[in-house]
Chains A and B, each alone.
Chain A
């Protein structure tokens, strides 16, 4: 079973203001997460018991993906104004997402499965030019 993953984060385009003004951060994400994206359990505990295999089969858990990461960031890292980050269960339109320097639209957007040491960049475009 895979271990907890370190995901590197970069916030720019003004988005860093919502995350305590820290442009570069990182989080620990377990390999399996609840399918309903609930982020109640603490990130450092990773369910690596045999029952988790059944959880995938029953649809209760899924491999950690970008959709989950966004919920996790909103619930655990965001300091203020969640409506400026998420809308309708996904990232707010106008915020660009890059996975390892590649447009997330080429990687499956929310359904991209996270790998250890991935770098996710969030750039807001919602400001004056």
Chain B
């Protein structure tokens, strides 16, 4: 095939066909449109304000490395006025997380940002390896995800940041929409396409790459020669998300815009009133103070299950009630320390009219 010239600048040779638009563009135009689209995602959703302290959830993988690079680039180019930090969570997965943390430490040097690493071991007393040893290879993603969410919030609170950003990309969000449909998880379905989530007691959390295709993130990293760690989590082959991912990849091969379209469908969902009424109101955990839909937050529930040797019985709320029926938790089990975030107090200045 004869080389085509870029459909944007009409000058340089096209090196990439964008899945989102089908456009054939050159390297420099690609960098520019990719970065500018993220910039628009950020400004249209008014994610940040000058002076914000922002923690970038960094795993050393492709999404978070590119996110750190792009956030730094845009912060400088458009004067967002942000203080950027790298925040990394060590789940204690040998051969996976310990290697990827080395990449984050290199990122810290390369991008010149402060780095904080928080481990499951110090926070919960359990590494993922120990958890998998106890519960086997099914449902371990539930533990990891729940623990990580709290760990990120606690790490961010200790850095006194206003905002956490994560590298979730369009493919991830489309997969989540599909997963929530497949599992009938209406509560999550309604929340999972929000670009920015905030609870009363938790730190704002956003996904600037919400509309960025995974393919483009990988191409960006490749052409910019960014350093990232690329191995599957050793426990992921058994994960449920794999089904959604395989399905999504096949959909993308047939029609590349499917990914953005699924997100659009997810955003357009409206939950029926009768169903909304059955959703639980948010409260705070009686044990650790974190946000929760029940008396005890999911992390405390899971940890109690692990400590009492009944971890498999606490995955669902139904099973939880059964465990409670057996008896209360003994006094000497390890619990999660009390969570106190700096509450954001909005100060209204009197209007000068």
Binding site for B on A (CB under 8 A): 12-14, 17, 93-94, 96, 98, 101-103, 105-108, 112, 121, 123-129
User: In the bound complex, how far is the Cα of B230 from the Cα of A102, in angstroms?
Assistant: 21
Measured in the bound complex, the distance between the Cα atoms of B172 and A102 in whole Å is 25
Known contacts A17-B231, A96-B219, A123-B222: does B1 contact A128 (CB below 8 Å)?
A: no
- Chain B interface residues toward A at CB < 8 A: 1, 3-4, 13-17, 24, 59, 61-64, 167-169, 172, 214-215, 217-219, 222, 230-233, 236, 245, 249-250, 252-253
How far is A13 from B168 in the complex, measured between Cα atoms in Å?
18
A102 lies within 8 A of B15 (CB): yes
B236 neighbours in A (Cβ, 8 Å): 128
Given A125-B218, A127-B62, 14 other A-B residues pairs in contact with their CB atoms under 8 A? A94-B245, A96-B218, A96-B219, A102-B3, A102-B13, A102-B16, A103-B16, A103-B219, A106-B24, A127-B230, A128-B59, A128-B232, A129-B64, A129-B168
In the bound complex, residues from chain A placing their C-beta under 8 Å from that of B15 are 101-103, 106
Most chain A CB within a 10 A radius of its CB, from B17, B169, B172, B233: B17
Q: Which residue of B lies closest to A127 (CB)?
A: B232
Q: Are A129 and B249 in contact (CB under 8 A)?
A: no
Q: Is the CB of B252 within 8 A of A93?
A: yes
A-B Cβ contacts below 8 A, count: 72
User: Are A123 and B232 touching (Cβ within 8 A)?
Assistant: no
Q: Name the distance in Å between A113's Cβ and chain B's nearest Cβ.
A: 9
Across the interface, do A94 and B17 meet the contact criterion of CB distance under 8 Å?
no
Given A93-B252, A96-B219: A127 in contact with B17 (beta carbons within 8 A): no
Tell me the smallest distance from the CB of A6 to a CB of chain B, in Å.
22
B59/A129 in contact, CB under 8 A = yes
Nearest CB in chain B: distance from A80 CB, A: 14
Closest to B22 in A: A105
A128–chain B nearest beta-carbon distance, Å: 5
CA distance A105 to B14 in the complex (A): 11
| Given A93-B249, A103-B15, CB of A123 within 8 Å of CB of B218 | yes
A50 CA to B63 CA, complexed, in Å: 53
Contact assessment for A12 and B230 in the assembled complex, using a CB-CB cutoff below 8 Å? yes
Q: Is the CB of A129 within 8 A of B61?
A: yes
Q: Are A128 and B17 within 8 A (Cβ)?
A: no
